[in-house]
Amino acid sequence: MSPAPELLRATVLHTPRNPFTEENALHVHTDGALLIAGGRILDTGDYAALSSANPDALVRDWRGSVILPGFIDTHVHFPQTHIIGGLGWGLLDWLRLHALPEEERMGDWVYAGVVARDFIRALARHGTTTALVFGAHFGEAMECLFQSACAAGIRIASGLVFSDRLLPAPLCQTPEQAYRISRDLIARFHGRGGQRYAVTPRFALSASEGMLEVCGTLLREQPDVLFQTHINENPREIADVRAAFPWAENYLAVYDRFGLTGPRSVFAHNVHASDAELSRLAEAGASVAHCPCSNAMLGSGIFPMRRHLAGGVRFALGTDVGAGTGFGMLKEALQCYMMQRLLPDGVPLSSTHLLYLATRAGADALGLSDETGDFTPGKSADLVCLRPAEGTPLAGAM
Ligand code: GUN
Ligand code: ZN
């Protein structure tokens, strides 16, 4: 017997269309409702219409609350959950002093299991139902992450982080090891309970050509896995990449040479992008994870949003914990707004743009727009219900 439908009554907001390019992107139902059954959206609209069309539905009266689509974080590092807040450094020093020592601790799978549970709990507490997760350098730590995500029903894509140079020895594998561990993780977790695998070289600086070759091989062998990495975050990093790959015209060309730029590729940051890189990203249908809290925290720079829009490059929000300042996608969206205000040619963003960047844009970047990101009937019932505490300013504004 199929489960009885439920009618969730509250103010419902979602952005099934792209506000940067389309009219009427924001759908608002002030006294609204979602009709759901078996974890799927059956209908979305005004409560009065939905309740008279579905008299047998079980009504959950959440008036005074706002229902939004579950947030989608397109760039977040699970091993960095415990090290948020390392102040005072730019990217390469922060990696050396804060991130990498903690990432070495993921070699202890008992500790990795604790961090994985804390990480998945933090996503859920912040209303994030889907995430593209930068993994750990150790296979056992990745198992902990996928198992925690499966148990909690959080949809993630993630993968073993590849490095074979520059980083401390415990964080390095050979390309052969990276290939073997990835194949094993793909066989065990890719497609299981909504989880997917993402091929994940840390950044070009810590990958040899042999390692990038392995990335390309994995993508060719498994066309439905994702690809994620970092790009164009910091001027010192970019100069070092130029020195390490003197044959490459720019940073993106290093990845491109190995077949890593495609519609399932998500490049984090891209703060210092050239026009040639933007047009190649657009041509390939690749996406950028925009992480404004991290960009401010590490002093990386301000995201050139206007140039991404003009170039037709897709982008969505990511928290980039632990360089980012926390798991909250609403805070990330606010920072995104504020950083654009600081640029002379910043994009004037509305709350509709911000909701879109925290939800539907992420679904597009991760190839999940048929599954999540808004409340179109047929999609998964991924939602967050926000109810301000009584007596707070937010409650007063509702
Ligand atoms: N580039 C390479 N590794 C990292 C990382 O852990 N965080 C950020 N923000 N950039 C990186
Ligand atoms: Zn990152």
∠ CA 137-140-143 to the nearest 5 degrees? 105
Rounded Cα distance between 127 and 67, Å, is: 11
Determine the pLDDT at residue 223: 85
Among protein residues, the one with the nearest Cα to ligand 1's atom 9 is: 323
23 burial (CB, 10 Å; 0-12 / 13-18 / 19+) is: exposed
Determine the pLDDT at residue 2: 67
Atom of ligand 1 nearest to the CA of 320: 9
The one-letter amino acid at 113? G
Determine the pLDDT at residue 395: 86
Residues 59/7, Cβ–Cβ less than 8 Å: yes
Distance 76 CA to ligand 1 centre (A): 10
74, 80, 93, 95: residue to mutate for ligand 1 pocket, most atoms within 8 A of CB: 95
Atom of ligand 1 nearest to the CA of 80: 6
Task: Give yes or no for residue 315 having a pLDDT over 70.
Answer: yes
The number of the ligand nearest the C-alpha atom of 95 reads 1
Rounded Cα distance between 232 and 251, Å, is: 7
* DSSP code per residue over 329-353: HHHHHHHHHHHHHHSTT-----HHH
Rounded Cα distance between 69 and 129, Å, is: 9
pLDDT in tens, 255-294: 999 999 999 999 999 999 999 999 999 999 999 999 999 9
Phi/psi at 286 (5° precision): -80, 165
Structure tokens at 38: 């078996």
Protein residues with CB under 6 Å of any ligand 1 atom: 77, 91, 95, 99, 202-203, 230, 233, 294, 320, 323
Task: Give yes or no for residue 378 having a pLDDT over 70.
Answer: yes
DSSP 8-state class, residue 16:
-
Distance 75 CA to ligand 2 centre (A): 6
Determine the pLDDT at residue 199: 98
Percent of the chain with pLDDT over 90: 96
Among protein residues, the one with the nearest Cα to ligand 1's atom 11 is: 230
Distance 285 CA to ligand 1 centre (A): 23
Distance 264 CA to ligand 2 centre (A): 17
Mean pLDDT of 18-32: 98
pLDDT in tens, 221-233: 998 999 999 999 9
Determine the pLDDT at residue 67: 98
The number of the ligand nearest the C-alpha atom of 251 reads 1
Residues 208/170, Cβ–Cβ less than 8 Å: no
Which secondary-structure segment (H or E) carries 115? helix 109-125
pLDDT in tens, 169-222: 999 999 999 999 999 999 999 999 889 999 999 999 999 999 999 999 999 999
The number of the ligand nearest the C-alpha atom of 73 reads 2
The number of the ligand nearest the C-alpha atom of 76 reads 2
Distance 294 CA to ligand 1 centre (A): 10
pLDDT in tens, 55-86: 999 999 999 999 999 999 999 999 999 999 99
Rounded Cα distance between 28 and 352, Å, is: 11
Distance 315 CA to ligand 2 centre (A): 15
Determine the pLDDT at residue 397: 81
Determine the pLDDT at residue 1: 57
The number of the ligand nearest the C-alpha atom of 92 reads 1
Structure tokens at 30: 């002030």
Determine the pLDDT at residue 245: 98
Rounded Cα distance between 31 and 64, Å, is: 10
* DSSP code per residue over 237-282: HHHHHHHH-TT-SSHHHHHHHTT--STTEEEEE-TT--HHHHHHHH
Distance 230 CA to ligand 1 centre (A): 7
Atom of ligand 1 nearest to the CA of 205: 2
How long a stretch of residues is the chain?
Answer: 398
pLDDT in tens, 317-326: 999 999 999 9
Mean pLDDT of 117-133: 98
74, 75, 77: residue to mutate for ligand 1 pocket, most atoms within 8 A of CB: 77
Q: Is 150 helix (H, G, I), strand (E, B) or coil?
A: helix
Q: Which residues on neighbouring strands pair with residue 29, listed in sequence order?
A: 12
Distance 75 CA to ligand 1 centre (A): 10
Count Cβ atoms below 10 Å from residue 38 Cβ, excluding itself.
9
